[in-house]
Structures are given as structure tokens and as C-alpha cells.
Amino acid sequence: MNGQARHIDIWNDFLHIVENIIEPRPFTTWFKPIKPLSLEGSTITVEVPSDFFREFLENQYLDIIRMTLRRVIGPEAKLMYSVRPVQTQPAMTLNAQYGTAPVNKAVNLGSFNSGSITNPLVLPGLRKLEIDPRLNPVYCFENFVKGECNQMGLSAGLSIADAPGKTPFNPLFIFGGPGLGKTHLAQAIGIAIHNKFPDLVVLYVTGSQFKSQYVDAASVNNKFNDFLHFYMKIDVLIVDDIQDLQTASGSQGALFNIFNHLHQNGKQLVFTSDRPAVELRNFESRMQSRFKWGLSVRLDRPDYQTRLAMLKARRDREGVLVSDEVLEYIASRVKTNFRELEGALVSVMAHATLTHQENSVELAARVTENIIGEDAGDISIARIQESVCEYFNITREELLSTSRKRQIVQARQISMYLSRNLISNCSLATIGSETGGKDHATVLHACNTVSDLMSTDRSFKRYVMDIEASLSTEENS
């Protein structure tokens, strides 16, 4: 065998095995773009489109990669990555972005056993009904950026996608502010279920659409029964922005009946809301209680690292040349939600293209000022320290001291973490100098410690979220 071509043959053997292990779509998306570069001993080096691409491979397919490489190379097999420069690579294309929207199988109306409920609007001879799932293929799990802000929701969504209607997460109730990814996560669940279980009928509908359908059905004799009949044929029902039904008692009653039928028959229900179920004040108590039967997960504002990861992922998918420095600036300035963050990046790219300017920090500063307003960034390190001290009932002198008491150390670390995430263009050195003269390495260690604790300790995460919420309230007041 030609030594120069051996790495290609090894990699082709690797791909042949992997192709028989995983499904076609993720194989095409995540393995076909990889290019083998060299083989030295038991170490094969491959080229991947981006750091985001490499991280996704390692997070999702590490065990498969390790097992297969050992099979084709030997027990000492190792894999090295080379990241393809953005300026020399084509745009990274995720299949779902340009694929066709999911299509449900035709539903056999005659098989529905509903007792007294009939379907008088179905004409004789019409036995099948095509139901549009209303899913946007862009909103898939592959395009969903994972972070502390959505880890619980993502884990639950992936579990549901593997076994719809058979997990304790039924219903799944996703809540949080605008632009935090509720619709994306809900639709990603529907898309993944459709891909894995094509015989299941999936439907995504907004609360306002459901309400309009109900009003239309209730205004025509016998059409309401057809409305119920339709929804009771669904295997996976996703209702987005359920809060839009708060003042609609009739549609709430219809949803109650649909919920009971689907849940009792092992069908999966997913709801999203801009507030927790307990705050849906104008909902019937029986409906509120059902929202709490399964799992309620909150999507929070993304932290700095998640915001930066999202921007890098979008840059790599678009195949555009935007420096890390510009992305870091945008991530430090736009903190509210993913929607505004993505809008800021698109605006910077558009301005650079249309005015033939370089994608620079100066351009990003001008563009983001129009998005976040003049008063953004008024939070100071001192104000964050005051809020932390007030929350933990300690003095600022104690916070800035060298005390190693656990409560004071954690409060000090939280203040540094929030300073980094909430203050624009605030360097680690600046944070350290205003936190008792700590060096930048100490600040970085504190930020990483807080991030790790938030992923493993719910009480600790609540401390950080409460303090950040109080600061956000002051900023917006």
C-alpha cells in the first residue's frame, strides 16, 4: 500500500464502519466533511471545518470514534485535529438548514375510536389526512448551542426524542424570557422525533393559532367535533407560547380534553411559555395542574461563554471571516438573549459587506450601540460587589479581604464571575485589581469555578441567578 495514501484508506475504513452505526443524516453532517491529512504510527490527523465542529464531535460521538479507530488502527490509536481556516473553507452546511421540512405520514381517519365523537366534515371515500407538522428545519438540535442556561432543557429534550411519551418528562413545560431558545428547543424535539420515528404524527402550533382554530371551529355546527378529532390523532403535540390562551376559557377547555386524551394514550406533549405555570394567572386550575405533571424547565439568559460559543457557531456555519476579538466584543455587550445576539452579528456582517468595511471592534461598537442602547453597561464592579455583599450579608471589606471562609470565598468568586459576564470590555486584570488586588489568573480560576459549580449545585446556581436578576432589574428600571 502506498504510504502516502494509507491515511486515506484507513479513514475510508473508519467511515464505512461509522456509517453502519449511526443514522444517515448525522453521518453526512458530522463525518463526511472531515478530511484525513496524515498517519504517523498510530496517530491519524484529520481536518475539521471549525472548533465548534470538533467540540460537537467529541461531545456527541467520542465513544464511537474511539472504538472505531482502535478497530481500524489498533489499541494505541490516537486522533489529532487540524481546524480549517475560515477564510479558506466553504460555508459549513448543516443538512437541516437547507433540507425540506419534515412531513408527517398520512393519518387514517377511519381508525379513530372516539365513542360519540364523529367527524362529519370528512367526505365519503376520504380516508387519509395529510397533517403539516409546521416544523422549521433550521430549529434542529445540531444548531442548538448548549450552555449552563439551557443544559437541563436540552438533556430532557434529547431524552424525549429517544422515547417520546415514555419518559417522566410528559408534559415538558419550557419557560423563560423572549429570545432564549424556547421555540428552537421545542421544535428540535419535534424534528428529532420525526427523524427517529417517522410513523409518529408530530404537530407544532402556537397558542394563538390554537385559539384561532378553536374560535373558527366553535362558530360552525359540528365543526368543533372535527377540531377535537384532528388533535386527538396527534402523537407529539407541541404548543408554543401557551400564555396566549390565558384569557380564552373556551380554548382552554378544548385543550384540557385534548391533553387528557393524548396523555392517557401515551402521547408526548411539549409546551412553552414566557412564565412558569404557577404564574399563568388566568388559566383554569385544572389546566395549570396538568402543566406541572411532568417536568418544568427554565431557560435562562446565556452567560458570556455560551454567548461566545453561539456567535462562533454561527460564524462557522456562514463561513465568514470575523475575528474572535469582534465576537468577544459582541458577546460582552449583548447579554439579554440569543435573538439579539444573533441580530448583532448579522448586523455587523451586513454593515461590513454593504459599506466595504473591515469587520472590526470599532464597527461592532457602532452597530451594537443601536441594539443595546446608550444606558447598557451601567453596571459597575462596585455595584456587583454591593449586590453580592447584600445577598450574602457580608461587608465589602470582608469580600475584598484574604479571608478563606467558605461563604466569603464563594461570594468573592461570584462577584468576579458576574463582573466578567455583565460588564462590557472589562478585563480580568481590571476585575482582579478591584477585588482586593487579585491577579488575572485568580479571576479566571474564580470564573471557571463558579461555572462548574453552577452545573452541579442547584443551590449555588440559584445564588448566582438571584443576584444577576436583581442587577438586571436595577439596570432596566
Amino acid identity, position 412: R
Residue identified by cell 455587550 is 333
pLDDT digits (tens, 9 = 90+) for 70-92: 999 988 888 988 876 543 433 33
Grid coordinates given for 68: 472505531
Q: In the chain, what are the domains? A: 3-88 (3.30.300.180), 107-298 (3.40.50.300), 304-372 (1.10.8.60), 381-476 (1.10.1750.10)
- Tallying the residues shown for the chain, one arrives at 477
Residue identified by cell 407538522 is 133
Cβ–Cβ under 8 Å, residues 204 and 308: no
Task: For residues 155 and 111, give the distance between their C-alpha atoms in angstroms, rounded to a whole number.
Answer: 35
Sign (positive or negative) of CA dihedral 411, 417, 418, 419: positive
Better pLDDT: 263 or 462:
263
User: What is the reported pLDDT for 215?
Assistant: 84
Task: For residues 37 and 419, give the distance between their C-alpha atoms in angstroms, rounded to a whole number.
Answer: 43
User: What is the reported pLDDT for 89?
Assistant: 37
User: What is the reported pLDDT for 269?
Assistant: 96
pTM: 0.56
pLDDT digits (tens, 9 = 90+) for 17-39: 999 888 887 788 788 889 899 99
User: What is the reported pLDDT for 106?
Assistant: 56
**Residue 109 binned pLDDT confidence (cut-offs 50, 70, 90):** very low
Beta pairing class for 43-48 and 35-40:
antiparallel
**H-type helices in 219-357, by residue range?**
223-231, 249-264, 285-291, 304-318, 324-333, 338-355
Task: For residues 413 and 416, give the distance between their C-alpha atoms in angstroms, rounded to a whole number.
Answer: 5
Q: Which of 34-48, 63-77, 230-244, 292-306 has the lowest mean pLDDT?
A: 292-306
User: What is the reported pLDDT for 470?
Assistant: 79
Highest mean pLDDT among 127-136, 249-258, 302-311, 400-409: 400-409
pLDDT digits (tens, 9 = 90+) for 296-321: 898 887 888 888 888 888 777 766 67
Amino acid identity, position 450: V
User: What is the reported pLDDT for 318?
Assistant: 65
Give the whole-number percent of the chain exceeding pLDDT 90: 24
Looking at residue 126, the DSSP 8-state letter turns out to be: -
Mean pLDDT of all residues belonging to the chain: 80
Q: Is the pLDDT of residue 322 over 70?
A: yes
Q: Is the pLDDT of residue 120 over 70?
A: no
Span 186-210, mean pLDDT? 93
**Residue 183 binned pLDDT confidence (cut-offs 50, 70, 90):** very high
User: What is the reported pLDDT for 415?
Assistant: 94
pLDDT digits (tens, 9 = 90+) for 212-232: 888 888 777 667 778 888 888
